[in-house]
Amino acid sequence: MSQHLQKLVLPTLISIFSFALILGNQLLTSYYFGTSPELDRYLTTLAAIHFLLFYIYPLKETLTSSTYLSTYIKPSELNGVLAAVIAILLLISTLLSLVLMTFYKELLANDYVTISKEGGLLVYILIYLFLLPISETFNSFLIVLNLTLHQALVRLGSIVTILISIVLLSRSLGVGSLLLGLIFAQIFIVSLSGLLLMLNGLRPKWQGFRVLTRIPFAIQAFTAISVTSLFALLHAFVEKFTMLSMMSGLVASYLYGISIVNVLISVLTLPFINFIWPKFVDLVNRDEEDQIFSYACNSMRPVIIILISFTSFIGYFSLEIVNLLFKRGEFTNQSAMVTAEMLSILLFAAVPVCIAAIFSKVLFAQKHFIIVMFSGVFSSLSGIFIILIAKAIDSITLIQWNWVISNFLGLIIISSKLFIQRGNLYKTFFSILGYALRVYIIVSTSLFLTPPLPNDLPNKQAEFFGLLFSFLVYILIFIFLSVLLRVINLDYRTRKYA
């Protein structure tokens, strides 16, 4: 197996296992808490906390992306970069802690968590505020040192930590066990990632803040991603806060639905992006930017086709899949129906999210940070606007669709820049339209010919094998029609990845 293929396959396998465990996390959550009002309030509170921590993802992306882009940071200077980043994060966390200690009663709904009766929730939130930024930074530096396999394994261990915490603490602490699980996971990441960094010669060594200015495009990239992240997390908080006020269980059903969608997107997209990102940078450095759009489209075609095949099947059998995965414990029939409806809607966003993530990397390689920022902000503001309309007309259906619509709008912004850059818009548009029409015919025909699940299956084992049989029939028809209509070329892998 080639070195490049190992870099793709091994992290992908670990990612698949990790996201399977994340889905297991949601299964445990649904078993213990169903779609209860307590879980809705916890998720809304968590969204508020992550809004305060909006700067973490931009910092992580800036560190990893800028390190690929530059050859200016010497190995000895990485110690100074790590020390400067930690100092900034500790300062920001301290300021946020002071704000929360002053206004936490007004900011947080803490009357539903057992550990919060004497202000305990605030203590755990403060711990989380300090731990999460440091853990994400340590994890990012594993990527900087090209320890991607180690980084994936650390993530895997942190997910196992959360699962164990839920099993051991949910009966006594209620939804508070979810927050404690997150804290234990961050402790695990900080400890193990810190150890791996030290073993590879990276230790915080103060060299001042000026060392950060040596990272090319760091300020531009961080600013663009920060603005995007700020509005995205504001969108997420407004979304959950509005859902909380409209219908009990809506936030929790959104969590279960989005967890399945995110597993599909992350397993297929993230390893692919990590694999193809250096190629984007290389094309830009060799002044071959005119080839980057074609390369991105041709390379991501198999990923998109696989994603479409899975999302179509899951959407068609959404109720059966939700019943199979979640319907046990506190998860009722009503919970299953709401979650299945939510899932079938959210799946429409999978493809635009995937394409937008890949196109964003293309624009980042070309240093078009403003376009990425504008796309993210426009998408988030569009989502918030749709949510406000849904609240005004009391439409649960519209608020369920807000994430899908906003992501489509964001993709249009990003794609427009690349299409204009490529030129020949007329030919490109009709080429994509013809390809999309063929894919629609394939999906529709495959689903029409797929046998439905019988209604009188005796147990979950029978449901599983029934779904498996339907999926096998569906995927065989899908592959046959894809080859027949030339959506999949049999020699594609040989030509593109030789």
Question: Whole-angstrom Cα distance, residue 446 to residue 294?
Answer: 29
**Per-residue pLDDT for 64 more than 70?**
no
- A 10 A CB-CB count for 285 gives 12
Q: What is the DSSP letter of 272?
A: H
Question: Whole-angstrom Cα distance, residue 296 to residue 290?
Answer: 11
Question: What pLDDT is stored for residue 65 in this prediction?
Answer: 60
Burial of 386 (0-12, 13-18, 19+ CB in 10 A): buried
81-128: pLDDT as tens digits: 788 888 888 888 888 888 777 766 655 544 444 434 444 567 888 888
**pLDDT > 90 fraction of the chain, expressed in percent and rounded:** 17
77-91: pLDDT as tens digits: 777 778 888 888 888
pLDDT, average across residues 23-36:
85
Residues 178, 123 contacting (CB under 8 angstroms):
no
Domain boundaries, the chain: 217-322+331-422, 424-498
3-state secondary structure of 360: helix
pLDDT band for 424, please (50, 70, 90 cuts). low
Residues 487, 478 contacting (CB under 8 angstroms):
no
Tokens representing residue 188 in the block: 């695990």
In which residue are the tokens 């200016």 written?
72
Backbone angles phi, psi at 109, to 5 degrees: -85, 95
Contacts of 57 (CB under 8 A, 6+ apart): 136, 225, 229
Tokens representing residue 176 in the block: 């508070």
Question: Whole-angstrom Cα distance, residue 352 to residue 419?
Answer: 16
Is the CA virtual torsion 38, 42, 43, 44 positive or negative? positive
pLDDT band for 493, please (50, 70, 90 cuts). very low
Question: What pLDDT is stored for residue 103 in this prediction?
Answer: 67
Burial of 337 (0-12, 13-18, 19+ CB in 10 A): middle
What end-to-end distance do the CA atoms of the chain give, in Å? Answer: 13
Tell me which amino acid residue 352 is: P
pTM higher than 0.85: no
pLDDT band for 176, please (50, 70, 90 cuts). confident
pLDDT band for 70, please (50, 70, 90 cuts). very low
Residues 202, 73 contacting (CB under 8 angstroms):
no
